[in-house]
Structure 1
Amino acid sequence: MIQAFADKETERLFNREPVKRFPPPVQRPALRKLLILDAAESLDDLRNPPGNRPEKLHGDRKGQHSIRINDQWRVCFRWDAGDAYEVEVTDYH
C-alpha cells in the first residue's frame, strides 16, 4: 500500500486530479502502475504484469525500487514492511 508520496504531482495523479507536469500519454499508464503499487502486499506482487519490470535501483537511488511506465518513465519508491514510501513518477533517464 502506498503510505507516502515524494511529490504533490504524483499524489494528485493518484487522486485522479489534473497534473500538467506529466505528458498526457504518460498519465493513464502511470495511474495504472500507481494502483498496482497501492494494491501490492509484497515486491513479488509487482512482477505481474511482466511489463512492470521491477528493479532494485543503485547509485544515487540506492534503497529504491522502480516499475516501468514506458521506456522513459518510471514509478520509483522505497519499500518497507509491505508498504511503499517516497513514491514518485519520474523521467528516470
Structure 2
Amino acid sequence: MKIGSVIKNIRKRKKITQTQLAELSNITQTYLSQIENNQKDPTIQTIKSIAENLAIPLPVLLFMAVENEDIPENKREIYSMISPSVKSLLDTFFNDDK
C-alpha cells in the first residue's frame, strides 16, 4: 500500500501545497513530504486528518492506495478485474476538476 503516492496525487490535483496541507493536518511539511514519498508510515489518525483536509472520505483514500500485492493471492484476479473501474469511478467522483 502506497498511501503517500495517493495523498500526493490528490493534493496536487487540488492545488494544495505541502505546507498548506501539513498546517491543516497539524503535522510538519517535512513529515508530509516523507509520507508522500513513502518513506514514513503515518498513523491512522494522521491519515484521517489528511483525508479530511483533502475532502476525501478515509475509506476512499485507503482503497485508492491498495495495490495488487496487498490483496490475498487467491482474490487478486477478481480484484484486478474490478479495481480499475472502481478506482476510476472514485477518482471521477472526488476530483474537483471534473
TM-score between both structures, scaled by the size of structure 1: 0.33
Query: Larger % of helix: which?
Result: 2
TM-score between both structures, scaled by the size of structure 2: 0.32
